[in-house]
Amino acid sequence: MRQQGAGTQSSLSAWPRALTILGLLLLALSDTPPTSADVRSRPLAPRQEDVTSGLRVETRTTYTVDMSAAVVRVHVEASLTNQTPDRVAGSSVEQFYFHGFSVPVLSEAINLGATRGDGRPLSVVRSDTETGVIAFADVDLSPDIYHGDSQTVRVTYDLPSRVPRSDGLIHINRAFATFPVLVFGDPGLTSVEVLTPAGLDIDVVGAEMSTSERDGQNLLQAEAIADPLDWYATILVRDDAGLAEHVVMFGEHEIRLQGWPDDPEWLEVTGRLVEDGLPALEEVVGFGWDEPRQIDIVESVTPYVYGYAGSYEHRDGRVAVIEVGDDLDHFVTLHELAHAWFHVDLFTERWITEAFADEFAALAMEDLGEERPTPEPVTPDDPAAIPLNEWVLPDLLEPDIGEQEAYGYNTSWWIAHQLGEEIGTEQLSAVVRAVDDDRSPYPGPTALSRLGGTADWRTLLDHLEGVGASDEAEQLFRDLVVRPDEVALLDERAAARANYDELLEIGEGWLPPDALRREMEAWDFDAAAALIPEVDTLFGRRDAIAADLDAIDVAVPVILQEEFEASHDLDELSELVRDAEDAADALRRADEARRSVSPLARIGLIFGDVDDGLDAAHGALQGGHYEQAESLAQGVRTRTDDATRDGILLLVGIPVLLGLVGLGIVLRRRGRAHRAPVAF
């Protein structure tokens, strides 16, 4: 059992179109006296409130829920004692007595009956009130109750099953029952109990009631109620085994409809809406679900009791439960279905999920050929206005909560609608898809995942400007979303983003390092401001590398850009850039030296070709092996510097060598000519 609405619902929608039940009950009960009194006196009688205040009223009301008969049977037992003393008025005695007693009942009550404590029947008639919600069972006391007298009165009536989609506060059938509990009596002398079949799900909305068992039934009790006029509870009883079921397949996704057994129209209409509405939602949202899902849609007026038109419970990424009433409201059902895209796992703020659920449900309505609903314009002087970042799931018993809920839903929707009008539905969908993909608002070329979990309003604003190219989003957030203490954060963001945009221009296609992007993503603008000058310097050093390499028609290594953008530590990145600087400088010098060698040096390079060395140095640079590239380039430079000397040696040494070789050949030939013949 759940008390005071403390359940598992994670998303609620569409504030109701009527007063809360509590307000209706208090309105009805506050204006009608519960007794009929008189005075035997001449010539003037005292005021009636003076009379009725003298009646002690002790009551116990019992509600017995009969699901099989689809009825709630109510038994009221009231012990009445006249405590108004007689008084002398001149020569006569005034006797105050009570000849009637009124028991409040719901307007749907039937089979009214009344008896005394001894079982003797009493006359009872029904009188309605202007509210149309509360009536009174007016009991004729017999005998009249004089001072010091007591009488026990028992009133019985039934709360019957009603046709679906009929007005009223009671819904009872074989699978579901809900009804408000009425109590009346003196403070501390008023008690109520509710008996329900065992094994069923029971919720209590409003005042707390104890739970136990009696005769195999569940028993809810509230004893000695201190303030009966302010005490309020609504009982909800569910037997899901008694629901009629129909399954709709949406691709590989199973949508299970569970309706009341006496309402086949709901199953038929809702089934058609699901078959047509989910494809329409997928079309306007712009993407489907990545994994198979199961969604249960249950016909229930439980959301009405909590003050809503429908509810969506997001159990995990693959299972959800929707509850909607019997009104067959297409927009409400589509709104709840839209929560399968927009839920607590997507955004942390309530207002964002409700805003997108409303806007895309409205777009789906239009896609289905129905009239597209739109939010009411937001007025800045609305007395219920609060920053939407403060709009959280409420305590439904708080005063004026209805106005605040209505403001929250409408204003959230109005923001989404305004943004859709500005940037278009496709761009709004692209923003949602970026969040659904866990994409960072400051992504690198390959590192697209967010850090820090679920997206929040800050992520949304960044994507609205970055992905959606919205010019109006920030002002909307300033006017309607942020708390007063968050305004300064928006100011800091504006300055940081201006500096960040300058870095993007300076980067000329290179993104700032990941270290800075993550600070921007986290909205840590103090940390970002400290890094921006360092990044600016690093871009300047990148430009120097590019200038060195451009002088020798060599491109900046792609891997250097990748390492630059992916860097989490600017100190380490600075060392890396220094190595690249040294390599680029050495390679430029080696290449220039190779191109500018003298003819004499070219002779020196005949047996010491440096082209292979230069190619190896270029390859090492492009592969990110900057120290190796520098070493190879320096080797080429050394060989180039020694080439002139080697050329001189070659020019001098080759003639000498040739002369020596020629002399040797001549001497060899002469030796053969003077050799004496040998006789054998």
Rounded average pLDDT over 660-679: 54
Is 658 inside any structural domain? no
Which pLDDT band holds residue 627 (cuts at 50, 70, 90)? very high
Q: Please give the pLDDT value at position 168.
A: 79
Instruction: State the pTM of this model.
Output: 0.81
Work out the average pLDDT over 584-592. 86
The proportion of the chain whose per-residue pLDDT surpasses 70, expressed as a percent, equals 81
On whether both 275 and 320 belong to a single domain, the answer is yes
Residues 288 and 418 in one domain: yes
With 0-12 / 13-18 / 19 or more C-beta atoms within 10 angstroms meaning exposed / middle / buried, residue 513 is: buried
CA distance 512 to 500: 8
170-187 as b/e: b if 16+ CB within 10 A: bbbbbbbbbbbbbbbbee
Tens of pLDDT, residue by residue over 79-128, are 999 998 988 877 788 888 899 999 999 999 999 999 999 999 999 999 99
φ, ψ (nearest 5 deg) of residue 33 = -70, 145
- Quote the CA–CA distance of 585 and 286 in Å, as a whole number: 51
Strands 35-40 and 92-106: antiparallel
Number of H helices, E strands in the chain: 19, 23
Domain residues for 38?
A: 34-240
Q: Are residues 354 and 282 in the same domain?
A: yes
What pLDDT does residue 397 have?
Answer: 65
Q: What is the pLDDT of residue 53?
A: 65
Element (H, E) at 576: helix 570-595
Q: What is the pLDDT of residue 131?
A: 81
Residues 559, 611, 580: CA angle, nearest 5 degrees: 25
Which amino acid type is present at position 288?
A: G
Lowest mean per-residue pLDDT among 109-113, 238-242, 652-656: 652-656
Q: Is it the case that residue 592 has pLDDT exceeding 80?
A: no
pLDDT value at residue 600: 46
Rounded Cα distance between 129 and 24, Å, is: 11
Q: Considering only CA atoms, which of 518, 525, 390 is closest in space to residue 450?
A: 518
Q: Are residues 385 and 466 in the same domain?
A: yes
- With beta carbons less than 8 A apart as the criterion, state whether 114 and 183 touch: no
Domain CATH code at residue 53: 2.60.40
Contact between 349 and 330 under an 8 Å Cβ cutoff? The reply is no
| DSSP letter assigned to residue 106 | E
pLDDT of residue 74: 98
Write down the pLDDT at residue 652.
Answer: 53
Q: What is the pLDDT of residues 30-48, one digit of tens each?
A: 544 456 555 544 333 333 3
In a domain, 659, yes or no: no
Q: What CATH code is carried by the domain that includes residue 317? A: 1.10.390.10
Between 594 and 24, the more confident residue is 594
* 20, pLDDT greater than 80: no
Determine, yes or no, domain membership for 508: no
What pLDDT is recorded for position 608?
Answer: 55
| Integer Cα distance of 271 and 275 in angstroms | 6
Domain termination site, one of 453, 482, 511: 482
- Same-domain pairing of 186 and 323: no
H or E element, residue 620 = helix 611-622
224 HSE (CA, 13 A, CB side)? 1
- The number of domains in the chain is 3
d(CA 151, CA 120): 12
pLDDT score of 12 more than 70: no
Q: Mark whether 44 and 79 lie in a shared domain.
A: yes
CA distance linking residue 162 with residue 173, whole number of Å: 8
- Which value, to the nearest 10 degrees, does the dihedral of the CA atoms of residues 523, 525, 529, 535 take? 0
The alpha helices in 179-319, defined as continuous H runs, are: 264-285, 302-306
Q: pLDDT class for 2, splitting at 50, 70, 90?
A: very low
Gap between the Cα atoms of 500 and 497, Å rounded = 5
DSSP 608: S
Residue type (1 letter), 17: R
| 68 is a domain residue | yes
Average pLDDT over residues 151-157: 96
Q: Are 229 and 249 found together in one domain?
A: no
Instruction: Provide the token pair at 389.
Output: 């970042």
User: Do residues 192 and 158 both lie within one domain?
Assistant: yes
Q: What is the pLDDT of residue 666?
A: 52
Mean pLDDT score across all residues of the chain: 85
* Same-domain check for residues 544 and 471: no
Burial class (CB in 10 A: 0-12, 13-18, 19+), 415: buried
d(CA 614, CA 637): 9
**What is the Cα–Cα distance from 440 to 438, expressed in whole angstroms?**
6
Cβ–Cβ < 8 Å for 178, 171:
yes
Q: How far apart are the first and last CA of the chain?
A: 135
Structure confidence at residue 636 as a pLDDT band (50, 70, 90):
confident
pLDDT of residue 670: 59
**Range name among 60-64, 381-385, 648-652 with the lowest pLDDT average:** 648-652
For the record, the structure tokens of 479 come out as: 């006017």
At 596 the pLDDT is 56
Same domain (yes/no): 133, 235: yes
pLDDT digits (tens, 9 = 90+) for 517-561: 999 999 999 999 999 999 999 999 999 999 999 999 999 999 999
Residue 277, CB-side half-sphere exposure with 13 Å CA sphere:
25
Taking residues 467-486, what's their average pLDDT?
A: 97
The answer to whether position 310 is within a domain reads yes
Structural domain contains residue 516: no
Give the pLDDT band of residue 368 (cuts 50, 70, 90): very high
Residues 405 and 264 occupy one common structural domain: yes
Mark whether 252 and 208 lie in a shared domain: no
Q: What is the pLDDT of residue 252?
A: 93
What mean pLDDT is predicted for residues 316-331?
A: 90
Residue 676 located in a structural domain: no
Higher local confidence (pLDDT), 619 or 663: 619
pLDDT (tens digit per residue) in 480-491: 999 999 999 999
CB of 397 closer than 8 Å to CB of 206: yes
Classify the C-alpha dihedral 380-10-270-162 as positive or negative. Answer: negative
What proportion of the chain, given as a percentage, has pLDDT over 90? 67
Residue 395 is predicted with a pLDDT of 77
Domain assignment present for residue 667? The answer is no
Tokens 């159990």 locate to 315
For every residue of 111-139, DSSP letters joined together read EEEEEETTS-B--EEEEE-TTSSEEEEEE
Q: Which residue in 366, 269, 278 sits closest to 326, CA to CA?
A: 269
